[in-house]
Amino acid sequence: MPERFPASLQQKIEDRLRYYEDLGIRLFYTDRGPGGTTIVAPEPIASVSSSAPIIEETVLPKPTTKPAPAKVAPVAPPPLVVHPTGPSLFETMGKVKDETLLNIREDLGDCTRCKLHKGRNKIVFGDGNPKAELVFVGEGPGADEDAQGLPFVGRAGKLLTQMIEAMGLQRKDVYICNVVKCRPPENRAPEPDEVTACSPFLIRQIDSIHPKVIVCLGATAAKTILNTTRGISQFRGEWLEWRGHKLMATYHPAYLLRNPPAKADVWKDLQKVMAELGLQLPKKSKS
């Protein structure tokens, strides 16, 4: 019979396993090492990367919030895999210097620049650290976000929060925003005129934050920002360059809720982002 853990440790183990479960990592194996330590390895990652997280039951990997650059393998220079159909308005807009998010929010005001304003309850400007090294860009607010005025607070948002925490970060460490700031009716994709009206604000937000890495969540955000018609699965997980920032597209959390096996791909992508940001991957134990 396995030894019982103290309730607090048991809770931590359950929380941690839930992270991995939510990332699509369900298969674990155990191996009793010589010192009696039980090694638990999330299987899909172990088969993908030599820096796969291996978790000791007794010391669960506490997400490390401090970067440890020395331990991170260098990342190859980013190949540009997306061939834009033409320069997008995201690329043609000049850099706006020395703006704060507050200035930009004030400028947005009680926006009526596109038709989306008619159906909205709240503008969802963005949320998080104005000096974040990592920015997530989604498509547009849904019902929960429209009600609260905050991005990614519904079911998909909860999964995004777990993904961020699995990276060893908290929501307040990153910045989260969307291509459009008002909810499209029935959660449809934003239309070109809406993107055209709203995108200057997204660009100004990103220019103001000046993150090391941008992660586009889902096909709409990725295709809109990169101005490409290519399917996201063709360039997901690849490092791209956009307005002087490293950018990676990955699947949208809402897609992961419908298609849980894709969580393993997203976790691979997020591990690349972690390496780029010098975030420590969960420690690998000797067996």
**Do the beta carbons of residue 198 and residue 157 sit within 8 Å?**
no
Q: What is the closest distance, in whole angstroms, from the C-beta atom of residue 169 to ligand URA in the complex?
A: 18
Residue 125 C-beta: closest distance to ligand URA, Å: 11
Distance CA 237, CA 125 (A): 26
**Nearest distance from C-beta of residue 258 to ligand URA, angstroms:** 13
Helices and strands per DSSP (H, E), number in the chain: 11, 9
3-state secondary structure of 131: coil
We find the least distance from the C-beta atom of residue 183 to ligand URA, in angstroms, to be 9
C-beta closer to ligand URA: residue 44 or 194: 194
| 182's tokens | 């008002």
Nearer to ligand URA, 124 or 277 (CB): 124
Residue in the shown chain whose Cβ atom is closest to ligand URA: 138
- 48 vs 147, beta carbon nearer ligand URA: 147
Compute the least distance from the CB of residue 121 to ligand URA, in Å.
Answer: 14
**Segment holding 8, helix H or strand E:** helix 7-22
Minimum CB distance to ligand URA, residue 191 (Å): 15
Q: Which residue, 12 or 117, is less far from ligand URA as judged by CB?
A: 117
Lookup result for tokens 């997400």: 63
Which tokens belong to 166? Answer: 């699995």
- The helix/strand/coil state of 263 is helix
Q: Which C-beta is closer to ligand URA: that of 55 or that of 153?
A: 153
Nearest to ligand URA of 44, 142 (CB atom): 142
Block residue for tokens 């990332």? 23
User: Minimum CB separation from ligand URA for residue 84, in Å?
Assistant: 22
> In this complex, which beta carbon is closest to ligand URA, that of residue 100 or of residue 187?
187
Nearest residue (CB) to ligand URA, 254 versus 281: 254
Least separation in angstroms between residue 167's CB and ligand URA is 18
Distance, CA of 265 to chain centre: 13
Structure tokens at 261: 């096996």
- Main-chain phi, psi angles of 22, to 5 degrees: -70, -20
Question: Are the C-beta atoms of 169 and 220 separated by less than 8 Å?
Answer: no
Of 233, 217, 136, the closest CA to residue 176 belongs to 136
Question: Judging by beta carbons within 10 Å of its beta carbon (0-12, 13-18, 19+), is residue 128 exposed, middle or buried?
Answer: buried
State the residues that interact with ligand URA by CB under 6 A: 124, 138-142, 145, 151-152, 156-157, 178, 254
Strand 245-250 and strand 213-217: pairing?
A: parallel
